[in-house]
Chains A and B, each alone.
Chain A
C-alpha cells in the first residue's frame, strides 16, 4: 500500500467536499454537486476547473433530450490522490491519538 501524501489542491474545504462526493460515485451531475455542497454555479465551475487543471476531474457536457447536462467524474489520478490524501490525514490523526466518530 502506498504512503499517505497530503494534497493542497484537494484539501481546500470546498474542493475536499466535491472530491469526497465524487470519490463515492461513478460520476455526479453538476446540479447534484452544486446543491449538496451549497455553491453557486460559477463557484462550482471555478472549483471544478481547478480540479480539472490538476488532472483530478473529468468534465463531461452532454444533452438529455434538448437539455444540456454537465457531469463530473474523478480520474484515476484524482482517485489515487484522494486516497493518499485521506491516508495522510489518518496518519496525522493516528499520531495524535484523536478518535473520529463516524458520521
Chain B
C-alpha cells in the first residue's frame, strides 16, 4: 500500500497525527488562574513572615501549603490523570525555560526584599512577593505558551 499511497493521503495522515498529539499537549496546559493563585499564595506567606508573629506565620504557612496542594492537586487530578505527557516532548529548551523563569522570580523577589529591609522599609517580604507574585501571574501564561510551542515542535511528524 505504501507505494500506492497518494501523497495527499499521506499528508492528511500526518496532519491527523499532529492534531491528535496537540490534543494531548493542550490537555496539559496550566490555566491562567493557576499562576495567579501561586502568586497570591506567595504574598500570603510573605505577609505572615512580615508580621513577626509565630501564630500568624503558622496560619500563613497553612494557607500557603493548603492552597498550593489544593490548586496543584486540582490540576493533576484533572488533566494529568487522563493522559500525562511523555517527558521527551519537553526537551532541554523547555527545562531551561522553566528553571530560568523560577530563577528570575526568586532573584528579583529576594533582591527587592533585602534592599527594602536594608533601607528600613516596613513589610519588605510582602512588597517583594507582591512583585514576585505579579511576575508569576503575568509570566506564567507566556511561559506556558513557550513550552507548548516546544512540545508541538517535538511531536511526531513535525518538521525538524
Contact = CB atoms under 8 A, between A and B. Distances in A.
B5 interface: yes
Contact of B24 (A13, A21, A89, A102): A21
Contacts, number: 106
Interface in A11-39: 11, 13, 16-17, 20-21, 23-29, 31-33, 36-37
Question: Size class of A's contact patch?
Answer: 35 or more
Interface of B: 1-2, 5, 7-8, 10-11, 13-25, 81-87, 89, 152, 155-159
Given A96-B7, A102-B158, A25 B86 contact: yes
Given A28-B83, A93-B7, A21 B20 contact: yes
A78 B14 CA distance: 17
6 contacts: A23-B21, A24-B86, A24-B156, A93-B10, A98-B11, A103-B18
A27 B86 CA distance: 8
